[in-house]
Structure 1
Amino acid sequence: MAVRDINIDNTPLSEKIAHTIRNNIIKGIIKPGERLVEPKLSEMLGISRTPIREALRLLEMEGFIDIIPRRGAVVTTLTRKDIDDIFIIKMKLEPLASRLAVDNLEKSDIDRLKELAAKMEAGSAKGVTQMINWNYDFHNIFIYKCNNDRLIRMLDGLQQQFKRATVYSFTTEGRTKKVNEEHLELIKAFEKKDSDSVEKIVETHVYNGWQFIRVQFEEVLTQI
């Protein structure tokens, strides 16, 4: 990994660093379990430790690394089986949460869903991490309104690894557009309080994401 790998544009430096490290993790150049040491990264990239520290926080939010006290940043593992296991569970539990949320969503919740959908449609200069976080917030609105604490905890447990898998969606323009279309369709169903449609839309949405991510993951592996 070298400073020449980072493209020069208007993207914040921390996001450029995160992008470089993220790609190297995906391609297997940086291995699962490997430590990312700030001073070493600073020396390799020829930049200060502050943007590197910010980049590592972004990668932690996406689930690519864990920041462990007295050990620092350690790369997590994501396999084909991880992706399948995550989405098999998510495809069953999240539609249920959405159905349970239908009668609990208030106008302010619908307005927030619309706001997030509009932000995702417009895109972000902050890059893929911001898109992932907006998508995370969008789904959490109806998950947390399902009013089932056990179901919420189960879905929370998937979120970090799910964020990592979701990176593949928001680095591809075609899928990003489709995600936005599916989100808008879901908002309309919530407004109509159509529980059957809401559940079906979320199930299809999660399944489409799963299949797309599987293809993208396999394509990355063939490049290694």
Structure 2
Amino acid sequence: MGIMKNRAEPEGIATKSLVAYKMIRDMILSGAALPGTRLILVELERKLGVGRGPIRDALLLLGQSGLVQIVPYKGAVVMLPPSYREMELIYTQRCQLELVLAAEAMAQATLEDVSALEEMADKMTASGTEEQYFFHMDRNFHRRLYELSRMPHLVSIVEHLMDFVQAFLTLRAYSAVHRELFNKQHAMIIDALRRKDETDLLSTLENNIMVGLDLVREELARFSH
């Protein structure tokens, strides 16, 4: 199921594009680029010291996150970043949808499906502190879990909500404590799937999702005035 086929995945984007992404994102979140500001390629190229190709990649990724809007014949325009309150509501919606999808996934999943999820979790555990795309490994794990529900339209809604989270966590350096917590929770999710224990599955999953809101709060605090 190719949920992300038309999305730009940071794992597949060059280092220069990620540098441009971080610089433009920080301009928006810090208020240096105000809502309504046009992001003109030639000006960004001069200001950031990065070529137009990487800047275009960065703007595409920022467009998915809702921090910019790509307007025909006008280019990229800065949007108002979400407040913490809005992020709280996004996470509330995420929990409601993702718990439903997880319960459906448990009913549909085969032993082979659960083993495939376990392989993904094992790769996350083995990735080490140098892994810079931990957020996307985590996102892929959740996506695969929800795809087992065979409800692609609801999965697409969850993916769109996750795009808003991406702006804050895509380049975050996860601490060893948070990596260990996420890996432990994923192992518990897999164990609950194997045991067909819906109560444990949904409780662990909700806790896992809401840890992300704490991380978003930390990221927002970095840019508060």
Corresponding position of 1:44: 47
Q: Is residue 82 from structure 1 mapped to residue 94 from structure 2 by the alignment?
A: no
- Structure 1, 189-198 or 207-216: larger mean CA deviation: 207-216
Measure, in 2, the Cα distance between the counterparts of 1:157 and 1:183: 22
* TM-score of the two chains, using structure 1 as the length reference: 0.77
* CA 1:58–1:116: 2 relative to 1, 3 Å: farther
Corresponding position of 2:173: 171
Corresponding position of 2:195: 192
* CA 1:58–1:150: 2 relative to 1, 3 Å: closer
- Structure 1, 93-102 or 56-65: larger mean CA deviation: 56-65
1:165 offset after TM fit, Å? 4.2
Contact preservation (8 Å) 2:109, 2:148? yes
Structure-to-structure mapping, 1:1-224, within 5 angstroms = 12-76=15-79, 77-121=81-125, 122=127, 127=132, 130-148=133-151, 151-167=154-170, 170-173=172-175, 174-217=177-220, 219-222=221-224, 224=225
- Calculate the aligned-residue CA RMSD, in Å: 2.8
Measure, in 2, the Cα distance between the counterparts of 1:47 and 1:151: 38
Contact preservation (8 Å) 1:12, 1:126? no
Measure, in 1, the Cα distance between the counterparts of 2:124 and 2:70: 28
* CA 1:103–1:75: 2 relative to 1, 3 Å: same
Measure, in 1, the Cα distance between the counterparts of 2:87 and 2:174: 18
* CA 1:150–1:62: 2 relative to 1, 3 Å: closer
Aligned residues: 209
SS in 2 for 1:30: coil
5+ residue gaps, structure 2, are: 1-13
* TM-score of the two chains, using structure 2 as the length reference: 0.77
* CA 1:29–1:178: 2 relative to 1, 3 Å: farther
Question: Which contiguous aligned blocks of 4+ residues in structure 1 show a shift greater than 6 angstroms?
Answer: none
Measure, in 2, the Cα distance between the counterparts of 1:63 and 1:93: 20
Contact preservation (8 Å) 1:166, 1:213? yes
